[in-house]
Amino acid sequence: MDDRGQQGREDGVSVMIPCPHCERRPAGEFHFGGPLRDRPGPEAPTGEWIAYTYDQPNLRSVQWEWWFHRAACRQWFLVRRDTRTNQVLESAMPGEVATGMPEGEAGDE
């Protein structure tokens, strides 16, 4: 979660991320926050909590995911990305997107 050692991370990937506040900027300015997921309720079964906490879905699909523009506006927003092609399709403000199943089946090409 912390930003230590991330100052110089401009070389990892070269995709451009469309920040709703700052427009298209190199991905190195951002911090990836994982796919948009529903947090289990407090009374959810332990198994559900364990899955939520420790299992990263890492799906081959088009998904909404969290991005944080750490080097500029420092705002979180959502990006729709195809994890198979790494193509960034669009971005949205939090609240504009409902969580739910990602589009496209895992494993389809």
Partner 1 sequence: MSSQEGPCTFTFDGRSITAAPGQTIAGALHQAGVHVVSRSFKYHRARGLFCATGRCPNCLCTVDGDPNVRTCVTPARPDMAVRSQNAWPGLKWDVLSIFDRLHRFMPVGFYYRVMHKPRFLWPVFEAIVRRIAGLGRVDRQSGGRRRYDRQTLHSDVVVIGGGWAGMHAAIEASRGGCDVTLVDDREELGGHALFDPVSWVEREPEFLSTVQAVVDDPRIRVLKRATAFGCYEDRLVAVQAGDRMIRLRAGQVVVATGGWEKPLVFPGNDRPGVMLASGVQQMLWRDGCEFPGDVVVVTDNPSGYHAAHALRARGTRVVAVVDHNETPAADPGDLPVRTGQTIHSVSGRRHVTSAVVGPLDAAAASSESIRCRWVVQAVGFTTASGLLAQAGCRLVHDESRDLFRVDRFADGFRAAGAVNGTFDIDACAREGRLAGEVAAAGEGGGSIDITPSETSPPVRRPPQGKKAFVCLCEDVTEKDLFDAVAEGFSNIETLKRYSTVCMGPCQGKMCQSGSIDACARANGKTVAETGRTTARPPDQPVPLGVLAGRAPHRHLVRRTALHDWHTEAGAVFLDSGAWKRPESYGDPSAEYQVVREGVGLIDVSTLGKLELRGRDVAEFLEFVYPNRFAKLKVGRVRYGVVCDEAGIILDDGTIARLEEDRWFLTTTTGNADGVDSWFRWWLATRPDWDVRLTNVSGATAAMNLAGPMSRQVLSAVCDGDLSTEAVPYLAASQLTVAGVPAIVLRIGFVGELGYEIHVPSHLAEHVWRELMAAGAESGIRPFGIEAQRRLRLDKQHLLAGQDTDALSNPFDAGLPWIVKLDKPDFVGRSALQRAQGRERGQQLVGFRLEGDRVPPEPSLVLVDGRLEGRVTSARYSPVAGATVGLAWVPAESAGNGQQITIQLDGQLVNAVVQREPFYDPEGTRLKS
Nearer to partner 1, 45 or 107 (CB): 45
**Residue 50 Ramachandran class (φ > 0 left, ψ -120 to 50 alpha, else beta):** alpha
Nearer to partner 1, 61 or 88 (CB): 88
Q: Does 12 bind partner 1 (CB under 8 A)?
A: no
> What is the total count of residues that contact partner 1 (CB under 8 A)?
34
Nearer to partner 1, 26 or 104 (CB): 26
Task: Provide DSSP, the chain.
Answer: ---TT-TTTTSS---EEEETTTEEEEGGG-EEEEE--PPPPTTS-HHHHHHHHH-----SSEEEEEEE-TTTT--EEEEEEETTTTEEEEEE-TTSS---PPBS-TT--
Tell which positions 44-73 bind partner 1, by CB under 8 A. 44, 46, 49, 52-54, 66, 68, 70
Binding site for partner 1 (CB under 8 A): 1-4, 7-8, 10, 13-16, 26, 31, 33, 39-42, 44, 46, 49, 52-54, 66, 68, 70, 74-77, 86, 94-95
